[in-house]
Chains A and B, each alone.
Chain A
Amino acid sequence: DSGVTQTPKHLITATGQRVTLRCSPRSGDLSVYWYQQSLDQGLQFLIQYYNGEERAKGNILERFSAQQFPDLHSELNLSSLELGDSALYFCASSVGDTVNTEAFFGQGTRLTVV
């Protein structure tokens, strides 16, 4: 158990809908990262927050947004869902905001868009 909690574990929704994925980081970790894992794109970095502020942005679509709340949990919002958004979405957390601090990954949320 990495200490990073993601909910829900599985999500099935229809095209055009909007969903929210939630991540609770390890106690004491200030950084939260979101990754998307799909068969065709592999593991792609989406976005990083550190202590409530956006710190780095990757290949995140405009239909997707994220935020980190004062209690440090984070949410990833996916809207106008398309079939291609079906993927495993991972959250990771770390103490620091730099890549050389170890990131601990949650078990992921598997999103299926039908």
Chain B
Amino acid sequence: AQSVTQPDIHITVSEGASLELRCNYSYGATPYLFWYVQSPGQGLQLLLKYFSGDTLVQGIKGFEAEFKRSQSSFNLRKPSVHWSDAAEYFCAVGARGNEKLTFGTGTRLTIIP
């Protein structure tokens, strides 16, 4: 069974600082990996996805993520966070032939001035 671990429940960073949110997955085949963001009272919005090819993927809002097969990781990064980035971030895994997405428990990001 596929699973996703987001080890950090809550992260606080200063505005303008860099950010890295961790995600580890478990899946036997080649996974499809996703990062979603959920702002308060909103649904989930797709930030970026990885299916194959270049292991460094660019997303919206200045986010990027790197797929590292050897570490079973797909960490999300942003070089300089903005106050509007405060939200909950979810990593998810899926695969062809197993069309449901399995989500991690989420990481809540707080931005301090």
The interface of chain A, by Cβ under 8 A from chain B, is: 2, 4, 33, 42-45, 48, 55-56, 58, 90, 92, 97-100, 102-108
Contacts and interface: CB of A to CB of B under 8 A. Distances in A.
A33 B41 CA distance: 19
For chain B, what secondary structure do more than half of its interface residues adopt (helix, strand, loop), or is it mixed? strand
Nearest to A94: B99
Contacts of A92: 43-44
A94 to B, nearest CB: 10
19 contacts: A33-B100, A45-B101, A45-B102, A48-B100, A56-B99, A90-B44, A97-B99, A98-B96, A99-B94, A99-B96, A99-B99, A99-B100, A99-B101, A100-B51, A100-B96, A105-B44, A106-B43, A107-B43, A108-B43
Interface residues of B, number: 23
A107 B101 contact: no
B65 to A, nearest CB: 15
